[in-house]
């Protein structure tokens, strides 16, 4: 089985999974160089009736980057080929370039990506197709809000250059379109100028869910970035106890004398790596309860102006190589939901049921979303987003999550497709009321369904 991040070759068949390592499927995997469009077209033409799909680094958690029985194109990218416009503060970058490689180029030059997910091991094409969001959505929106231009390979072999004003309906269908409108070849995105490679962070420890919600509602607008880690094992009066971390990029005058000697120095490495074979999940109720207790107690009740590196603040899990293997051979399910503002009662119900079920979640985070963008399938909208991961072998997991789906959907919420491995076509239709609009645009440029995926078929996106 080929895990995310593996070096793929042109062979048949190959098993692929998402980062959750569930639901593997076999496809013909072809390495393509996006500098030569003809190679990409040729790869697409090899597609069977199951079609073709572009795949980046495989960090979608479920089956979004799989295409069982069809063709999967592994996109290559070289960060050294990027072109920075230092007047407009934009960059033209190939879709196969990883954010990890890109940061190594742009941070020393005084720039940061406009939005980053919790991992830097994703490609620019994947960031656009999933319309990723980060800790700054409450003020600056999702990745798609910062894309000026996209070059898209269409099903007929032509290349369309899209902007918010040039073929806008296809541009916004591609943002968050899960790779099903075509192959993103490159893009022009806005960059965020920064003075240093450090962040300045404030941390508080919240005693319960009401406390953290109030803190975020009252204070998030004073910070560019905000995220809360929730102890999902806590119950009763401590339900939802959290560690809230908020910050911004540090200015030069906020660094120590020593740090100012190399203010934009950037290093992102590993401190450990999980071995390839972990037959039994290390993530169980006992281990997670212990970890959560230690993690909560070690956090300060209040700490201000702590200097952290970019990897420490934005991508802490990336310091552990192949951390998904800790869940054992059965993998894990990541579940991410959106609950609109004003429906905090539903958010509480979800957290209460999860805490009461004994489900062991290693990573449970809460963020606030700001305004939505025009993309029909973009996940973020005004409200709260809760993300958690649970071992896939957890008894009764599917039934419990489907019960929670109803709680979320009944208040106008939705699920994030880049994380999904369990929801249903009905849940997507309810959560994304503009789905038919997206399908009309997609079918207009791909009537023969050249572009397909396991996720697209499973969730009825290609109907």
pLDDT exceeds 70 at position 235 = yes
Determine the pLDDT at residue 296.
74
pLDDT exceeds 60 at position 7 = no
Q: For the residues 352-358, what does the mean pLDDT come to?
A: 89
State how far the Cα of 275 lies from the Cα of 269, in Å rounded to an integer: 17
Mean pLDDT over each residue of the chain, to the nearest integer: 92
Q: Which CATH architecture has domain 79-194?
A: 2-Layer Sandwich (3.30)
Split at pLDDT 50, 70, 90, the class of 179 is very high
Q: For the residues 170-193, what does the mean pLDDT come to?
A: 97
Determine the pLDDT at residue 77.
79
Range of weakest confidence among 70-79, 180-189, 237-246, 364-373: 70-79
Range of weakest confidence among 212-226, 228-242, 291-305: 291-305
Q: For the residues 177-195, what does the mean pLDDT come to?
A: 97
Maximum CA pair distance of the chain?
A: 62
Determine the pLDDT at residue 300.
84
Residue-range domain boundaries for the chain? 79-194, 198-429
Determine the pLDDT at residue 288.
75
pLDDT tens per residue across span 386-441 = 999 999 988 899 999 999 999 999 999 999 999 999 999 999 999 999 999 999 99
State how far the Cα of 143 lies from the Cα of 153, in Å rounded to an integer: 20
State how far the Cα of 121 lies from the Cα of 318, in Å rounded to an integer: 8
The DSSP secondary-structure symbol of 456 reads H
pLDDT exceeds 60 at position 4 = no
| DSSP for 10-61, written as a single string | SEEEEEE--TT--S-EEEEEEEEETT-HHHHHHHHHT-BTTBEEEE-S--SS
Percent share of the chain, pLDDT over 90: 77
Determine the pLDDT at residue 8.
42
Q: List the alpha helices (DSSP H) in 147-208.
A: 168-174
Determine the pLDDT at residue 125.
97
Determine the pLDDT at residue 36.
65
pLDDT exceeds 60 at position 318 = yes
Q: Which CATH architecture has domain 198-429?
A: 3-Layer(aba) Sandwich (3.40)
Determine the pLDDT at residue 49.
86
Contact 359, 47 (CB under 8 A): no
Determine the pLDDT at residue 11.
54
Split at pLDDT 50, 70, 90, the class of 279 is low
What's this model's pTM, rounded to 2 decimal places?
0.94
Q: For the residues 150-165, what does the mean pLDDT come to?
A: 95
Determine the pLDDT at residue 10.
54
pLDDT tens per residue across span 45-95 = 777 789 999 999 999 999 999 999 999 998 877 777 799 999 999 999 999
């Amino acid at each position: 089985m080929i895990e995310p991040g593996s070096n793929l070759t042109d062979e048949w068949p190959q098993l692929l999974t998402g980062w959750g390592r569930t639901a593997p499927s076999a496809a013909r995997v072809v390495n393509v160089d996006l500098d030569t469009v003809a190679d990409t077209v040729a790869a697409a033409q090899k597609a069977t009736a199951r079609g073709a799909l572009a795949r980046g680094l495989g960090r979608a958690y479920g089956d979004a980057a799989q295409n069982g029985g069809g063709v999967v194109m592994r996109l290559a990218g070289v960060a050294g080929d990027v072109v920075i416009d230092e007047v407009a503060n934009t960059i033209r970058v190939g879709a196969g370039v990883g954010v990890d490689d890109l940061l190594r180029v742009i941070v020393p030059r005084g720039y940061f990506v406009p939005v980053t997910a919790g991992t830097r091991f994703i490609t620019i094409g994947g960031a656009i197709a999933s319309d990723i969001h980060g800790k700054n959505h409450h003020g600056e929106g999702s990745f798609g809000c910062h894309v000026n231009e996209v070059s898209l390979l269409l099903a007929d072999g032509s290349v369309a250059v899209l902007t918010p004003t040039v073929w806008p309906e296809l541009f916004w269908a591609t943002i968050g379109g899960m790779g099903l409108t075509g192959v993103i070849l490159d893009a022009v995105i806005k960059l965020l100028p920064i003075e240093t490679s450090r962040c300045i962070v404030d941390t508080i420890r919240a005693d319960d869910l009401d406390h953290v919600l109030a803190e975020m509602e009252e204070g998030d607008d004073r910070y560019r970035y905000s995220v809360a880690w929730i102890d999902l094992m806590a119950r009763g009066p401590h339900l939802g106890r959290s560690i809230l971390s908020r910050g911004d990029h540090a200015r030069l005058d906020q660094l120590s004398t020593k740090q100012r000697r190399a203010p934009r120095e950037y290093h992102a490495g590993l401190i450990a790596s999980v071995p390839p074979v972990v037959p039994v999940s290390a993530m169980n109720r006992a281990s997670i309860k212990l970890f959560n207790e230690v993690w909560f107690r070690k956090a300060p009740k209040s700490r201000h102006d702590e200097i952290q590196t970019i990897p420490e603040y934005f991508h802490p899990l990336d310091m552990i190589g192949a951390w998904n293997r800790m869940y054992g051979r059965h993998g894990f399910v990541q579940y991410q939901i959106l609950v609109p503002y004003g429906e905090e009662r539903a958010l509480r119900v979800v957290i209460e049921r999860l805490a009461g079920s004994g489900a062991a979640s290693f990573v449970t985070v809460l963020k606030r979303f700001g305004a939505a963008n025009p993309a029909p399938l973009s996940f973020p909208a005004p409200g709260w987003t809760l993300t958690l991961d649970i071992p896939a072998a957890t008894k009764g997991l599917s039934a419990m999550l489907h019960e929670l789906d109803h709680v979320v959907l009944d208040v106008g919420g939705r699920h994030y497709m880049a994380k999904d491995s369990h929801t249903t076509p009905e849940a997507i239709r309810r959560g994304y009321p503009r789905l038919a609009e997206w399908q009309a645009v997609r079918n207009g440029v791909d009537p023969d369904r050249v572009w397909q995926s396991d996720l697209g078929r499973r969730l009825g996106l290609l109907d």
